[in-house]
Homo-oligomer: A and B are copies of this chain.
């Protein structure tokens, strides 16, 4: 929020009667900047003072209307999703979220009402996740909204959990349930997508909500840090992300399909049309944590996760990789090796 006024020097020469960037920052974003280093977003940059003996974990996710959300989603939900996908990355590394910078590219038809609701969404999540806005930039971005958030987390030096720390013998855990958000996206794209499946009204609401608003597992961060050997969040889908984890840790991952945690909605979809259910399971946008935990830490991991009221499920194990250079994912059901699934997802089903 450096206060550059985009009405000056624009190649497209446009000007607008709406408030300029300064007014916009003052009205909507300065109230969100509660860290002294951010000086109410009135300076060129923010000063960030890391905690004693802490390392920072930095992540940046960009979201674009009609790619990562629908332009007509509630502004509060768009704001929350943009922040939460970043908080999910921090949680997967075991980091406590602290602050974020917001880059906002407004479409030509932005309105003050929209922006007020967007800021309101951020405000609610700042309270929920104990983070604060510390800086950023607002520009006009043309035909569609663009959001670019850089989130900052902290953890004790040397305790970050990478994708690469897993070993043969570790247990593979996942939080929550998988596949709901991808089902919700299908329903958004085609309101008749699940007509033949006979989903209940509350099941439909569940999948739509899961797509609209991820629930980052922030509370699990210290548990991940204490017990996981490798971790990441599931954003591309179970099989694709398990593939990333397998390759980074150089292990094969054996997943038991019957143990993968599914919501009642996804269970119903899978029962009615296996291919569609598996496609949802591989669809991504889950923002659950997938992690490897050494066997001797598994009981403590489960107990501490329960204390944080975060459901975790063991869905498989890691074994020595058959091919040293390329960890694989093997999906099994009732002891049968379903297929040598491509790390890219379920596209071979």
Q: If the complex has contacts A56-B47, A141-B67, A142-B143, are A11 and B42 also in contact, measured as CB distance less than 8 A?
A: no
Mark the stretch among A231-239, A266-274, A321-329, A332-340 that contacts chain B.
Answer: A231-239
Are the CB atoms of B11 and A44 closer together than 8 Å?
Answer: no
Q: How far is the CA of A58 from the CA of B69 in the complex (A)?
A: 28
Are the CB atoms of B59 and A12 closer together than 8 Å?
Answer: no
A189 contacts chain B at the CB level, 8 A cutoff: yes
Tell me the chain A residues, 123-151 only, with Cβ under 8 Å from chain B. 134-144, 146, 148, 150
Write out the residue numbers on chain B whose beta carbons fall within 8 Å of the beta carbon of A9.
Answer: 181-182, 185, 283-285
Tell me the chain A residues, 163-222 only, with Cβ under 8 Å from chain B. 163-164, 181-182, 185, 188-189
Q: How far is the CA of A248 from the CA of B233 in the complex (A)?
A: 42
Write out the residue numbers on chain B whose beta carbons fall within 8 Å of the beta carbon of A48.
Answer: 55-58
Q: If the complex has contacts A5-B240, A101-B60, are A11 and B189 also in contact, measured as CB distance less than 8 A?
A: yes
Minimal beta-carbon separation of A46 from chain B (angstroms): 5
Are the CB atoms of B56 and A50 closer together than 8 Å?
Answer: yes
Q: How far is the CA of A48 from the CA of B146 in the complex (A)?
A: 26
Q: If the complex has contacts A148-B148, A240-B5, are A64 and B185 also in contact, measured as CB distance less than 8 A?
A: no
Are the CB atoms of B92 and A60 closer together than 8 Å?
Answer: no
Q: Can you sample 17 A-B contacts with CB below 8 Å?
A: A3-B244, A8-B236, A11-B66, A11-B188, A11-B189, A42-B163, A43-B248, A44-B59, A45-B95, A47-B57, A47-B93, A49-B157, A60-B148, A62-B103, A62-B105, A62-B137, A141-B144
Considering the complex of A and B, which 3 residue pairs feature the smallest CB-CB distances, nearest first? Answer: A148-B148, A45-B59, A150-B150
